[in-house]
Amino acid sequence: MQIIHIFTELGTGLRRNVSMTLSLVVTTFVSLALVGFGLLVNEQAEATEEYFNGRSTLLVLLCSETSSGGTCVNGEVTREQREAVEAALEENPQVDSYTYETAEEQYEKAGELQNQTAAGRRAYEAAEPANFSAVYTVIPFDPNQVDGISEQLAGMSGIENLVNVADQLGLLYEFLDLLQFAALVIAAFLAVTSVLLVSNTIRLTAYARRKEIGIMRLVGASSWHIQLPFVLESMLATVLAGLLAVGSLAAMVELGVNRGLKQAFGDLTVWIGWSDAVFAGTLTMALAVVLGAIPPLVLTRKYLDV
């Protein structure tokens, strides 16, 4: 009978506070979705950093037909200059391996990447192989040895530029960190808003049902018996919000990553997958349960005086 009465009280509370409950669901959903998004961004940032740190490369851009200045005073790299660069790479004990791609191969590779968008196709059509440099892609034994290899090759004739790929990704890492931080800060503010909504809902409900609560005290109802409908009402709203947030994370991985980023950029990096979504979703649901249980337990004691 007590269980039936508790669920009856729960139904009464939900009917009386439909708008407040919906507000709580929406606010908590957005908050939890942003928390999950921040977790996924963090997973992607770590995967990207690990991927490129494990594949630290030095790009040796050779002088092209359009190069001028520096060591490219004679224009395109000569065969003798290229052989000297290869000899330096062969003799360097820090070099694990290297590959060579001609300017024409670089031009074709650029075409594959630029064809993803209309603007990229227009830029590619305006270019020609002479605008591209032949490239040595150098893989060190140790990712920390890239600078040493770069110092050895610096100033050699026929080299237009030396590019440490890891250094070029600094802005990407900063952007991902900023995105994660922004998502978590907004989520924190919305979580506080959710707690305030719970507080307001309990306060208004307690006032509307003050006679019933008074009668329950008179007949000797336990504190748990009085509190539980309020706690269950809050938990129902936050768990529903958590399920919606988990669904949004699944949609983000499937539509945003699997059908979006993977198809647009291919194997540019290691992309997050379903295991990361499950991890983020589990933490998100755990947070939903905490938001639905702990604040109501504290607030009901305050407003119901039990």
CA angle 215, 216, 220 (to 5 degrees): 115
User: Cα-Cα-Cα-Cα dihedral of 137, 140, 141, 145, to 10°?
Assistant: -170
pLDDT for residue 187: 79
pLDDT for residue 197: 75
Q: What is the rounded CA–CA span in Å between residue 107 and residue 127? A: 9
Please, what is the end-to-end C-alpha distance for the chain in angstroms?
21
pLDDT for residue 67: 78
Residue 250: alpha-carbon gap to chain centroid = 13
Q: Helix (H, G, I), strand (E, B), or coil: what is residue 305? A: coil
**Tokens encoding 195:** 């707690």
**Tokens encoding 171:** 């802005």
pLDDT for residue 220: 57
Residue 288: alpha-carbon gap to chain centroid = 20
Among 24, 9, 15, smallest CA distance to 238 is for 24
Q: What is the rounded CA–CA span in Å between residue 226 and residue 124? A: 71
The identity of residue 245, as a single letter, is A
Residue boundaries of the structural domains of the chain = 2-52+170-304, 55-167
The identity of residue 35, as a single letter, is V
Q: Output b/e per residue, 237-265; b: 16+ Cβ within 10 A.
A: bbbbbbbbbbebbbebbeebbeeeeeeee
Decide which of 3.40.640.10, 1.10.357.10, 3.30.70.3040, 3.40.50.720 is the CATH code for 55-167: 3.30.70.3040
Max intra-chain CA distance, the chain: 100
DSSP letters of 238-294? HHHHHHHHHHHHHHIIIIIIIIIIHHHHTTSSPPP-HHHHHHHHHHHHHHHHHHHHH
Q: What is the rounded CA–CA span in Å between residue 60 and residue 136? A: 5
Q: Helix crossing, 223-251 with 274-304: angle to 10°?
A: 150
- Are residues 271 and 47 in contact, defined by beta-carbon separation less than 8 angstroms? yes
Running along the chain, 306 residues long, what does each successive block of 10 average in pLDDT?
52 62 82 87 82 77 78 82 90 89 78 59 64 84 84 87 80 79 81 76 66 59 64 81 94 90 77 92 90 78 61
**Tokens encoding 51:** 């991927």
Q: Output b/e per residue, 146-162; b: 16+ Cβ within 10 A.
A: beebbeebeeebbbbeb
